[in-house]
Structure 1
Amino acid sequence: MSTISRRSLIQLAGLTGVGLTLSACAGPGTTTQPGGGAAGAVNLTGPVEGSISFAHWRGEDKAQFDSIIAAFVAANAGVEVRQDISPSNDYNANALQQIRQGTQGDLFAAFRGAQYESMVKASLFADLTKDGPTDKYVANLIGAGTTDGKQYGYPYQLVFNMPLINADLRAQAGYTANPKDWNGFLDLCEKLKSSGVVPIAWPGGEAGNAGQLFNAMVMNEAPSDDMCAQIEAGTMKVTDDWFLTVLRRYEELKPYFQPNATGTAVEPAQQMFASGQSAMLATGSYHMTSVRGLGATFGFDLIAPITTTADKAKYEGIHNATFILGVSTVSKNASTAFALLKHLSDPKAAGDYANGTSQHVTVKDVQYTNPDLLATAPWLERKTLLAPRFQFTNLDIRNAAEGAATAVVGGTSVDEAAASAQRIIDQRVKR
C-alpha cells in the first residue's frame, strides 16, 4: 500500500457536448465511456454554457464551493451550477442510481473504494486520461481515481482519517506530543479521564464515521498493508490472531469512550469535543471545520493510537485521498462540467477551498494559510498509511469486520464478535 511521500507532499503543501454522442468514433475533445462499450463518447471540450449539477456529500463545504463556483460563473456568462448535496450515508447508498438516471451529478464526487469501483463498473466516469488536468495534481495522490491505467477521476481531498485531539487538554495531561506506544496511549487516556473529561468521543452508532478509528487500530497489527483486501479475498480472517489483538485493543479502550458509545451519532460526538467535554474526536481531519463551527477555540492536533510498542510501529497515522471528482458519461452538458472540474483543479481555487474548509488538497502549488491546516501540516511529512478500510469493495464485508469492533465495545466477547463477523464474511467472500 502507498504511503505519503515526503518529497511529493512538500511539493503539495508549498507551505511558506454537450451530451452523449452516438458516433462510434470519438473525435478530438471526446472521451469514450469506461468499459469500452458501444455507448459512444462524451464531449469534454464543447461550449461552456447552460446548467449543470455538482453532486457531493460535503454539506459543510457548501458556502466555500458557492464562492468558488461564483468565480467560475462570472467567467462564463450564462452558466448555472446547482449543488446537489446529500448526507454521506445517503450519498453512498443512492448517488450511483441518481447519477445514472441523469437527475444530478454532471460533475460528481465519489468515495474512494467501493463507491468509486461500482461507479467505474457502471460506466459513469468519463475517461479523463487524455484531456484531464492531471498535471495540476500530485501524481502519487491520485491513484484512487485510476483504473486499468485510465484516469477517471481526481481525488481532491487529502484527509487524515484518525482522531482529532484537543492539544490544550493533551498538554494538561502531561503530554506535549503524542504517545509512541500502546501503554503511553492508555496512560494518556487514564490521565484525561482522571481530570474529568471523556478521553475519546466515538460515534459508534454511525458506521461511516465509527469505522475511521478502525484504520489506526489495524495499521500496526496486520501482517501486511493490504489486510482489508485480504480479508475480503478470504486469505485473512477476522478470527486470525492479529485481528483478535485489534479487538482486544478496542476492549481496552471501552472505559475511555463516552457512555452509550455504540449508540452515539457523529453530531453529539462533535459537540462533546467542541465544548471540551472530550479530549479526542475519533473521526478525522475532515471534521475540523464543523468543530470550529460549534465554537471550539482550542488548538488542534491529530493522534493515532499506536497499538503496539514503539519499536514495532510501522506507521504514525492514517491518510486518505478521496472526494474523487469526475464527469458523468450521461451528462447532457459534460463540457461545462469538465470546465468546472478544471476550475476546481486550479491552485488558486483549490487553495480557496482548502483554506476555507480546513481540508488539505491533492492539487499542486497550493498555499495554505488556514491556522488549522498549518497546525496539522507536520503530518504531511510523517509516515502514514493509506486508509485501509477503503480497500474493502464489498460493504457487507467491511461492515462485518468493523462491526466486530463495535460489538466488542458494546459488550460482546472478542471471540464471539470475531466468529459472528467471519460467518458473514464467509458468505460473501468471492470464490
Structure 2
Amino acid sequence: MNQKSHGTMYTRRRILQMFAASGLVAVPAACAGPGSGGGGDQGGGGGEALPTDGPVEGEISFAHWRAEDQAVLEKMFARFSEEYPDASVSQDISPSNDYQSNALQRIRSGNVGDLFVAFRGAQFVDMVDAGLYADLSGTDVVERYDPALIDVGQSDGTQYGLPYQLVFNQPVSNLDILESVGVTEPPPDWDSFLAMCEDVVAAGLVPMAWPGGEIGNAGHLFNCMVMNNAPSDDMCAKIESGEYACTDDWFLTTLAQYAELRPYFQPNATGTAVEPAQQLFAQGDAALLVTGSFHITAVRELGAQFPVGMAPPVTVSADERKYVGIRNATFILGVNTASDNQAGALELLRFLSETEAASTYANGTVQHLTVADVTYDNEDLAATSDWLSKETLLAPRFQFTDLDIRNAAEQACIDVVGGDSPEQAAEKAQGIIDQRIGS
C-alpha cells in the first residue's frame, strides 16, 4: 500500500500543519487552498467554489476501502502520471469496517483523501452534512455518467458525489450446480426458490453459503427478502422513522420465510464469516453465495472455475412480484473540501470517469459501473450484464441512516435462522428501535 511520504519529504500541506500545530503562525484560509479551513465544519456540504481547472501536480491522495482494487488502480494511476508527469497518486486504503468508522474524521483533517469515496447511505449522508464533499454540479465530469444511476450521490438536488460501482447485492450462483438439478433460470417465485433448494439438498450439496456471523455481509440477503414483501419501496426509511415496525405483518412474514430457509444454509450459518462462505462456494460445495456480485473476484481467486450467474430469492408469487433482484450504486467518489489539491483531485476524478479508464477498472475488478458506455470484456461481467436491464430495487438496507436501527432489524433475521421465533426476534428488534427513535 502506498502511503503519504514521511521523513525528510515534506509536502506543502505537512509544512502548514507543522506550523499550525506549533502555534508559530496563524495560517489564513486563503493560503490553504480552495475549500480548506472549514469545509469539514459546515453542514450541507458547502465549501468554497471547486476549481474546475488549475495545475495538476503534486501528490494526490485517494482514500478508499477496496484493497482488492489496489493493483488495478496502481496501473491506471501510472497512466495518469504519464499524462500529468508533475503529479502522482497514492492510495490510502482502510478495511471497510475501519473506513465506515474512521474515514470522516481522517478525511476532514485534509491529511488524506484529496479524492475519496463513501458508502451509500449513512456514511454519505454524514459526509455531506460534515461539508466534506465539494459541489460537482455543473462540472463536465457529471456528464460522463448514466444520469439514472447517480442520484444516490445527490443531496437536496446538488451532485456532491458520483457513485462509481453498480453492484448486485443478491446471491451469486454456480450455474453448473443449478443446471445439474434442472434450474436454468433464476426462480421466479418463492415456491420455485424453495424447490430449487430442496433439489440441491437432494444432490448432497449446500443450497446457500451465508455469512450469518457477520452482520454487514449477512444483511445483503435482507435486501432480497424485503423487496417484494414490504408495502412500499422506502420500507427501511419508514422503520427508522417509526411509521413501520418490525412487528408489522409484512416484516413477520419476512422473518417466517427466513425460518423456512434454515435447512438450506450451511451448518453453523449464524457463526460463519464471509471467507469460509466464499470457500464453500468456490470449491463447488454450495449452489449459492448469499452476498453479492462484489465477491465474484474473491471466489475466482480461491480457484472457482465454474460459470456464475445470480439467483435472488423472490418471496412472493410471480404475479405479485415487483422486483426480481437488488442493485446498489456505491463507492461514491468526491473531491475533499479540506484538500489543498482540489484541482488535481478533480482531474483524477475526470480520468477515472473516462470510458477507457472506467472499462479498465470494471474488467480488472469485476465490477459493473455507472459510467456511460463501459465495455465489459470480463466473462463474469458479460455473463451477468443482463441484470443491468432487469427490474431491480435499489438496495433498501442502505436507507437506514442509524446503523443501530439497521443492525437491530437485520439481527432479527439472523436470530430467526439461529432458532428464535419470528415473534421473539421482532419484539426484541423493535424494542431496540423504539429506544433509538425515542432517544
For normalisation by structure 2, the TM-score amounts to 0.90
Measured after TM superposition, the shift of residue 130 of structure 1 is 2.6
Counterpart Cα distance in 2 of 1:350 and 1:40: 29
Instruction: Give 1:401's match in structure 2, choosing from 406, 409, 418.
Output: 409
Residues 82-136 of structure 1: per-residue CA shift (max 9 Å, x gap): 1111121111111111111223211111000000000001111111113251100
Residues 338-358 of structure 1: per-residue CA shift (max 9 Å, x gap): 111110000000000111111
Counterpart Cα distance in 2 of 1:21 and 1:291: 51
Partner in structure 1 of residue 99 of structure 2: 91
Secondary structure, aligned partner of 1:47: coil
Residues 58-91 of structure 1: per-residue CA shift (max 9 Å, x gap): 1111111111111101111131211111121111
Moved more, 85-94 or 415-424: 85-94
Counterpart Cα distance in 2 of 1:275 and 1:223: 39
**Do the aligned partners of 2:189 and 2:315 also contact (CA within 8 Å) in 1?**
yes
**Do the aligned partners of 1:203 and 1:210 also contact (CA within 8 Å) in 2?**
yes
Counterpart Cα distance in 2 of 1:38 and 1:235: 32
- Note the 1:112-151 alignment, pairs <5 A: 112-151=120-159
Secondary structure, aligned partner of 1:366: coil
> What residue ranges of structure 2 are gaps of 5+ in the alignment?
1-11, 14-26
Partner in structure 1 of residue 309 of structure 2: 301
Measured after TM superposition, the shift of residue 260 of structure 1 is 1.2
> What residue ranges of structure 1 are gaps of 5+ in the alignment?
1-17
Q: Which has the higher contact order (CA 8 A, sep 6+)?
A: 1
Measured after TM superposition, the shift of residue 178 of structure 1 is 1.5
Partner in structure 1 of residue 353 of structure 2: 345
Residue 204 of structure 2 corresponds to residue 212 of structure 1: no
- Note the 1:321-336 alignment, pairs <5 A: 321-336=329-344
Measured after TM superposition, the shift of residue 45 of structure 1 is 2.3
Secondary structure, aligned partner of 1:235: coil
Read off the aligned partner of 2:265 and give its amino acid letter: F
**Do the aligned partners of 2:167 and 2:294 also contact (CA within 8 Å) in 1?**
yes
Partner in structure 1 of residue 19 of structure 2: none
Counterpart Cα distance in 2 of 1:247 and 1:44: 50
Measured after TM superposition, the shift of residue 317 of structure 1 is 0.4
- Note the 1:100-119 alignment, pairs <5 A: 100-119=108-127
Instruction: Give 1:181's match in structure 2, choosing from 189, 203, 214.
Output: 189
| 1:53–1:35 Cα change, 3 Å | same
| 1:37–1:173 Cα change, 3 Å | closer
- Note the 1:333-412 alignment, pairs <5 A: 333-412=341-420
| 1:114–1:37 Cα change, 3 Å | closer
Counterpart Cα distance in 1 of 2:431 and 2:72: 45
**Do the aligned partners of 1:233 and 1:430 also contact (CA within 8 Å) in 2?**
no
Measured after TM superposition, the shift of residue 35 of structure 1 is 3.8
Instruction: Give 2:202's match in structure 1, choosing from 188, 194, 204.
Output: 194
Secondary structure, aligned partner of 1:155: strand
Partner in structure 2 of residue 79 of structure 1: 87
Counterpart Cα distance in 2 of 1:382 and 1:374: 14
Secondary structure, aligned partner of 1:308: coil
Residue 91 of structure 2 corresponds to residue 54 of structure 1: no
Number of paired residues?
411
Secondary structure, aligned partner of 1:53: strand
Secondary structure, aligned partner of 1:48: coil
Partner in structure 2 of residue 251 of structure 1: 259
Measured after TM superposition, the shift of residue 42 of structure 1 is 4.7
For normalisation by structure 1, the TM-score amounts to 0.91
Secondary structure, aligned partner of 2:322: coil
Instruction: Give 1:286's match in structure 2, choosing from 285, 290, 294.
Output: 294
Secondary structure, aligned partner of 1:80: strand
Secondary structure, aligned partner of 1:331: coil
Instruction: Give 1:270's match in structure 2, choosing from 275, 278, 281.
Output: 278
Counterpart Cα distance in 2 of 1:340 and 1:40: 19
Read off the aligned partner of 1:304 and give its amino acid letter: P
| 1:38–1:298 Cα change, 3 Å | closer
Moved more, 365-374 or 164-173: 365-374
Instruction: Give 1:167's match in structure 2, choosing from 172, 175, 190.
Output: 175
**Do the aligned partners of 2:221 and 2:290 also contact (CA within 8 Å) in 1?**
yes
**Do the aligned partners of 1:52 and 1:80 also contact (CA within 8 Å) in 2?**
yes
| 1:130–1:22 Cα change, 3 Å | farther
Find runs of 4+ consecutive structure 1 residues off by over 2 angstroms.
18-23, 31-46
| 1:201–1:44 Cα change, 3 Å | same
Counterpart Cα distance in 2 of 1:32 and 1:275: 49
Greater gyration radius: 2
Secondary structure, aligned partner of 2:245: coil
| 1:158–1:39 Cα change, 3 Å | closer
**Do the aligned partners of 2:92 and 2:113 also contact (CA within 8 Å) in 1?**
yes
**Do the aligned partners of 1:22 and 1:40 also contact (CA within 8 Å) in 2?**
no
Measured after TM superposition, the shift of residue 22 of structure 1 is 3.6
Instruction: Give 2:421's match in structure 1, choosing from 398, 413, 416.
Output: 413
What is the Cα-based RMSD across aligned positions, in Å? 2.2
Moved more, 161-170 or 58-67: 58-67
| 1:231–1:297 Cα change, 3 Å | same
Instruction: Give 1:63's match in structure 2, choosing from 67, 71, 74.
Output: 71
Counterpart Cα distance in 2 of 1:217 and 1:308: 10
